[in-house]
Amino acid sequence: MEKLKIDADKISNRAGEYFGNGFHCAEAVAKSVISGMGGDGSLATSHATAFGGGFGKSHEEACGALSGALIVIGHYFGRTHPGPDWDKPAALGADIRNLFLAQWGTTHCQTLCDRFGKESQMDCCRDIVRRVAKDLTHLLEGQAGD
C-alpha cells in the first residue's frame, strides 16, 4: 500500500453521500475509503454487495459498515495465496471491530436498527457509515511499509 496523504473527513463525508444515494452501508464504506485513498473502489464495492443489511438484508449478523471495512482491509493487506501470515489484516480487523464496539456497544445489525427506531434508522446508519469510514481511514494511515 502506497503511503499518501488522505483526508479522513472527506472520505467520511463521501461515504455518507454514497449511502444516501443508492449504495448500502457495506458498499459505501468500501467505495469511499478505497477511492479516497486513490484506488478504484469498484471491485471492492461489488464484493461488499451481499454484506449490506447485516448480511443479505437479514439484519441478523454484523453491521454492513463493519463488513465493508473488513473488505477494504482485505483489499490492501489480504493474502493472494496460502502461506504468508495474516497477522496484519487480522490486527486491523480486530482494531476496527473494537472501535465499532466502543462507539455502539454491539456489531449486530438488528440490535442497532431496533435501538435507532424506524424514523431515525437511515440517519443513524449514515452516521455509522461515516464514522466507520473515518475510523478505518485513520487506521490505514501510515500502514505502508509496515
Q: Give the tens place of pLDDT for each residue, 80-114.
A: 999 889 999 999 999 999 999 999 999 999 999 99
* 81 Cβ neighbours under 8 A, 6+ residues apart: none
| Domain boundaries along the sequence of the chain | 8-140
- 10 grid coordinates: 472527506
What's the Cα-to-Cα distance from 92 to each of 16, 74, 97, 125, 133, rounded to whole Å? 22, 10, 9, 22, 13
Whole-number Å distance between alpha carbons of 68 and 107: 13
Q: Give the tens place of pLDDT for each residue, 16-26.
A: 999 989 999 99
